Amino acid sequence: MKKGFLFSAFILPFCLMAQIGGANFSFLNQVTDARSLSLGGNPMLAWDVDASKGIWNPALLNNEMNGQAGVNILNYLSNATLSSLYYVKDYEDIATFSLSVQSADYGLMDGYDISGNETGTFNPYEMSVNLGASRKLNERFHVGAQVKLVYSSLESYSASGLFVDFSSVYTNESERFLMSLIVRNFGGILTNYTSESTTNIPLEVNFALSHKLEHMPLRWLLNIEQLQDPDLTYDDPNLIEVNSIDNTVTKDEFSFSDKVLRHVTAGAELMLSKNFHFRFGYNYRLRQELGLKDFKNGVGLSWGFSMRLSKFKLQYGRATYHVAGALNSFSVAVDINKFGKKL
């Protein structure tokens, strides 16, 4: 009972977000950087020097990111805080490497035993240490991989896992059009919370497209997510109606188009100047799952911006997850090589 309470307390927000059934280490599939959050909650696909993308798509690491470092902080629901930090180093003729750390702090919680007696407070947390690398195959294709050692601590229970990400990126000659296939969190559990705990790894297979228009300062992004699971629908009580007269039950079925759109997120980035970008995104599945039946408000919509100040790049992203609240992300990046130099 106690184990079940603890598990439900920390995993519930992620189950609501993803509806993938309480996978272990679900925090790995939540973006923390402001750019990705503002574009519908999926990693940005672009060929530039934003090294935070390498945490989610290692094939995007490139030699122009050499010396890039940064931190992303996401204020999640309730008292939870998710964050990540990274550093990129390029070794010419070998590969571009990244070292990153992802963490999830769920805040203080009250513990109770099976009889409902207080057992004190505890602070559940999870973290992952990642080593990624990318290499250019030719003028069009880049491939990347990332190894992740993950640890989770929930009161007196702990678990660990080892996962690998694989990705490939295709760019056209101008590097304005990109396609990418990403397989994330392929691996398994090293140690589980208890001998009776079930194992459900947070595997994801995503396909992404992006294109920067030639004569407009606009880039659009389309992400097709969760390809490993064709049907992302679930038992929705809002679709069940009971006739109070004869007690007959009718249930509306999900349409084919609804099932398809639950795999799709879209976003756009408007480059108003070299130092200021504005972004917005839309997540259909999030809107259907977390919006109220008759009042969805802005659920599923997201926006954000970035600005460059001296040696630093500051970014902000906001995504509405429910009418009761939204997520906010703050990102700071810096090119360490520029310190000590005049801009």
185-227: per-residue pLDDT in tens? 999 999 998 888 887 889 999 999 999 999 899 999 999 999 9
State the Cα torsion 84-39-176-69 to the nearest 10°: -20
* Alpha carbon distance 323, 279 (integer Å): 21
Give, for 232, the enclosing helix (H) or strand (E).
none
* Alpha carbon distance 321, 12 (integer Å): 14
In sequence order, what are the beta bridge partners of 87?
69, 99
Domain 2-338 has CATH 1.10.3470: no
Q: What is the pLDDT of residue 115?
A: 84
Q: What is the mean pLDDT of residues 57-72?
A: 95
- Expressed in angstroms, the distance from the first to the final Cα of the chain is 59
Q: What is the pLDDT of residue 178?
A: 95
Q: What is the mean pLDDT of residues 135-155?
A: 94
Q: Is the dihedral of CA 17, 223, 160, 149 positive or negative?
A: negative
Query: In the numeric block, which tokens belong to residue 132?
Result: 């990624």
Nearest CA among 54, 62, 55, 209 for reference residue 137: 62
Q: What is the pLDDT of residue 43?
A: 79
* Alpha carbon distance 48, 331 (integer Å): 16
Q: What is the pLDDT of residue 4?
A: 37
Give, for 223, the enclosing helix (H) or strand (E).
strand 218-224
pTM of the complete model? 0.85
Confidence of residue 143 (pLDDT cuts 50, 70, 90): very high
Q: How many beta carbons lie within 10 A of that of residue 61, not counting itself?
A: 30
Q: What is the pLDDT of residue 148?
A: 98
Confidence of residue 291 (pLDDT cuts 50, 70, 90): confident
Task: Please check the confidence at residue 21 and state whether its pLDDT lies above 60.
Answer: no
Asked if 34 and 72 count as a contact pair (C-beta separation under 8 A), the reply is: yes
* Alpha carbon distance 15, 261 (integer Å): 19
DSSP assigned state of 280:
E
| Single-letter amino acid, residue 291 | G
Task: Please check the confidence at residue 90 and state whether its pLDDT lies above 90.
Answer: yes
Task: Please check the confidence at residue 313 and state whether its pLDDT lies above 70.
Answer: yes
Residues 229-248: pLDDT tens digits? 988 887 766 666 666 666 66
Greater confidence (78 vs 62) lies with 62
Q: What is the mean pLDDT of residues 285-289?
A: 88
